[in-house]
A and B are shown apart, each in its own frame.
Chain A
Amino acid sequence: DTGVSQNPRHKITKRGQNVTFRCDPISEHNRLYWYRQTLGQGPEFLTYFQNEAQLEKSRLLSDRFSAERPKGSFSTLEIQRTEQGDSAMYLCASSLDRGRANTEAFFGQGTRLTVV
């Protein structure tokens, strides 16, 4: 399977615990995005990377959230001291940016986080 891969698919955690999600993008894609989606809403932008550089982080994103893409390939999203409001589907997407031309973003299957 050469699509975007996310692990784990599901995560249940207790409030206050830290969680980490992984995203493996399509191999030649230089852009990687993280989104959060709750029921009845469209995906909400969290952050994105161009290769290993984190280019933007949502102003709405708490300091408890951090993301990395150390070698410009896979990425991790960590949530520290989870709260019940963090319960959501976390989606990763990747695309190829060629300067003035972009390809569409392809999404992974998501990680569903439930904080109890």
Chain B
Amino acid sequence: SQTIHQWPATLVQPVGSPLSLECTVEGTSNPNLYWYRQAAGRGLQLLFYSVGIGQISSEVPQNLSASRPQDRQFILSSKKLLLSDSGFYLCASDSGGNQETQYFGPGTRLLVL
């Protein structure tokens, strides 16, 4: 099975500061990678997904961007954080097939003040 690492685990940032969250994957190659945001311990909002290096699809317009510089590395960034960017960010991975289970990282809790 796949193992997803995320860091940092918790982050407190001022409004207007930059952001970089990192996700790395072990146990697979050429995975599909995803960034989700979860607000208030409820539903998941898909932010970005990637089917390969340098290939990023955005699901919703927003203040964030994503990059995939290596096969098993996925980065979520912002140039200037907003209060509304606060939330729990989850990175996930799967192997791309129709029956595939998604594997999730432990998450990063971001608080923008």
A, B bound: no
B positions within 8 Å CB-CB of A: none
